[in-house]
Structure 1
Amino acid sequence: MTEQVESVIKVLFVCTGNICRSPTADGVFRKIVEEAGLSGRISVDSCGLSAYHVGELPDPRSREMAQSRGYDLSDIRSRKIKPSDYEQFDYVLAMDDGHLRDMRRQASSTHQTKIELFLDYHPQRTGQSVPDPYYGGANGFEHVFDMIEETSNSLLAHIRNQHAL
């Protein structure tokens, strides 16, 4: 009798510099996955299309908003997307349509179906972008967190359904 090995579903969130939107999605989704008891089945990471902030913590405003909502982003460090990410991850989720276009240009044809717009998993926001809160005030960060929390729950429901979890 052979033992069936359960594969890990790998989710990658991508924004511009990996300091606001994608680390927020990383932290929120990771906690939702943990609370669902699926940490051993779903792995979560984030990165940016640029190398401007490599090695840095998420933006202080993102960390503060995360902490106020019970999320911890302190172990996340900015990194730039690598060509191997397109191969290794099952879901490569762009925070906005510009990221989506850039990633589709970078990835080989065999990995195009993995690249999607994150908000396409939100029941009412299909085709929309998560706005970049970097240049805005605190309200922008709060709005982004609301969108990411709502979408993360829908994303997890989709993954559970698609992978029978």
Structure 2
Amino acid sequence: MAERIAATWAQRDGVDGVEFTSAATSTEELGNPIDRRAARELREHGYDADNHSAHQIDAAEIDDADLVIAMEDIHIAKMRAMSDRDDVALLSDFDPDAEPGEGVPDPWYGGPEGFTTTREMIERAMPGVLERVRELQGATRRG
């Protein structure tokens, strides 16, 4: 969900030249399309939910990214075990109203309301994410 929301917000806000990707730290859903409940939530709120296939993140993808954002602490731990990168952030770190370390819980095992909560949490973090992307783009242009 976060990938699709971020891409939509970036396009809407004129943040060009950025690619958002989504990757799992586990293998359970590899190759599967987006969860039907997540797809419904995204579509109901104007986001694209088509053409997604789950893939597992690896060290090269982590190391090649300009910004790596995780949903929960367990994802950070798994990525740090794959890569020496120490600047992986929680999505909730970009939400000024979130509790430190809060993370965004996985709605998979609950009902549809969990997907609404997840979407809302992602949206609250988007201004901060896009601000960080702009900072990184500026640093790249200067550097």
TM-score above 0.5, yes or no: yes
Secondary structure class of the residue paired with 1:91: coil
Give, in whole Å, the separation in 2 of the partners of 1:161 and 1:43.
15
Can you list the C-alpha shifts for 1:3-54, whole angstroms capped at 9, x where unaligned?
xxxxxxxxxxxxxxxxxxxxx0000000011112223x21110000112211
Question: Is 1:152 aligned to 2:126, yes or no?
Answer: yes
Question: Is 1:138 aligned to 2:80, yes or no?
Answer: no
Secondary structure class of the residue paired with 1:47: coil
**Larger proportion of strand:** 1
Question: Is 1:122 aligned to 2:99, yes or no?
Answer: no
Hey, what does 1:36 align to over in structure 2? 13
Give, in whole Å, the separation in 2 of the partners of 1:91 and 1:157.
12
Give, in whole Å, the separation in 2 of the partners of 1:92 and 1:56.
22
Hey, what does 2:61 align to over in structure 1? 85
**Residue 3 of structure 2 aligns to which amino acid in structure 1?**
D
Contact 2:15 2:134 in 1 (8 A): no
Hey, what does 1:59 align to over in structure 2? 35
Measured after TM superposition, the shift of residue 161 of structure 1 is 3.6
Give, in whole Å, the separation in 2 of the partners of 1:123 and 1:75.
32
In structure 2, stretches of 5+ residues that fail to align are none
Give, in whole Å, the separation in 1 of the partners of 2:51 and 2:127.
22
Contact 1:94 1:118 in 2 (8 A): yes
Identity rate, percent:
27
TM-score between the two structures when normalised by the length of structure 2 = 0.89
TM-score between the two structures when normalised by the length of structure 1 = 0.78
